[in-house]
A and B are shown apart, each in its own frame.
Chain A
Amino acid sequence: MAFFVASILLILIGLYAVLVKRNIMKIVIGLSLMDTGVNVLIISLGFIRGRTAPIVNIKDLLVNTSSKVVDPLPQALVLTAIVIGVAVTAVALSIVMLMYSKKKTLEIEEYKELKW
């Protein structure tokens, strides 16, 4: 239960940074914190108390496997989500670098060209 609460709070802290902070780098850091929070939430949904990791490498686990291991499907989903996360963060940071080279500031309020 504590894992659910902590991961929801982590998502909310990241979203707070995205909504309130005026520095672009802080916004990207908030997105990366939200990423971690969502991953912890999905993994803790697949956890089952008293079971072992889903790696069947001893003879005992071969029979009646589904009463001895945790759910492997959320782990497979999160595994790919983390790798996607680093690529998306890199693209976001390269956009930040490009914006900085045009106006020499990181304040989001200075970029008004697309505001309506």
Chain B
Amino acid sequence: MILEYFMLFLLFLMLGLAIYAVETKDLLASVVAAGFVSLVASIVYLYLQAPDVAMTEAAIGAGLTTLIFIIAIRKTERYEK
């Protein structure tokens, strides 16, 4: 039962972080929030009995995608006008 409430909390956290990632003006903070959404999603996959997908999401969504976005921000600009 407590696990289900924890999952509910994680889903709300995921939505809140997604709204923050869309609305903030600082693109670096936005990218970090989007990576955090992926990390929370990998915990949700673990609850849904999909360990293979959880491993892929944790390694790609939270690691590689965030790095690629940060490289692109370093070569363009950081603040949204």
Judged by a CB distance under 8 angstroms, whether A96 is at the interface is yes
Which residues of B sit under 8 angstroms from A17, Cβ to Cβ?
A: 22
In chain B between 31 and 51, which residues have their CB closer than 8 angstroms to a CB of chain A? 31, 34, 37-38, 41, 44-45, 48-51
Judged by a CB distance under 8 angstroms, whether A13 is at the interface is yes
Q: Taking each of A17, A52, A75, A90, which has the highest tally of chain B beta carbons within 10 Å of its own beta carbon?
A: A75
What DSSP secondary structure best describes chain B's contact surface? helix
* Residues 33-61 of chain A, each 1 if its beta carbon lies under 8 Å from chain B, else 0: 10010011001101100011111000000
Instruction: Report how far A89 CA is from B34 CA in the complex, Å.
Output: 13
Judged by a CB distance under 8 angstroms, whether A83 is at the interface is yes
Which residues of A sit under 8 angstroms from B68, Cβ to Cβ?
A: 86, 89-90, 93
Instruction: Report how far A53 CA is from B22 CA in the complex, Å.
Output: 34
Instruction: Report how far A21 CA is from B19 CA in the complex, Å.
Output: 13
**Chain B residues packing against A (C-beta within 8 Å):** 7-8, 11, 14-15, 18-19, 21-22, 27, 30-31, 34, 37-38, 41, 44-45, 48-53, 56-57, 60-61, 64-65, 68-69, 71-73, 75-77, 80-81
Among B22, B50, B61, which residue has its beta carbon within 8 angstroms of that of A75?
Answer: B50
What DSSP secondary structure best describes chain A's contact surface? helix
Which residues of B sit under 8 angstroms from A55, Cβ to Cβ?
A: 51
Which residues of A sit under 8 angstroms from B11, Cβ to Cβ?
A: 2-3, 6
Contact A75 B64, CB 8 Å, known A16-B22, A40-B44: no
Question: Are A29 and B22 within 8 A (Cβ)?
Answer: yes
Among B8, B60, B72, which residue has its beta carbon within 8 angstroms of that of A86?
Answer: B60
Which residues of B sit under 8 angstroms from A6, Cβ to Cβ?
A: 11, 14-15
Give me 14 other A-B pairs in contact (C-beta within 8 A), A43-B45, A53-B49, A86-B65 excluded: A3-B48, A10-B15, A13-B19, A14-B18, A23-B81, A32-B65, A33-B21, A40-B45, A43-B53, A46-B50, A82-B56, A82-B61, A97-B75, A106-B76
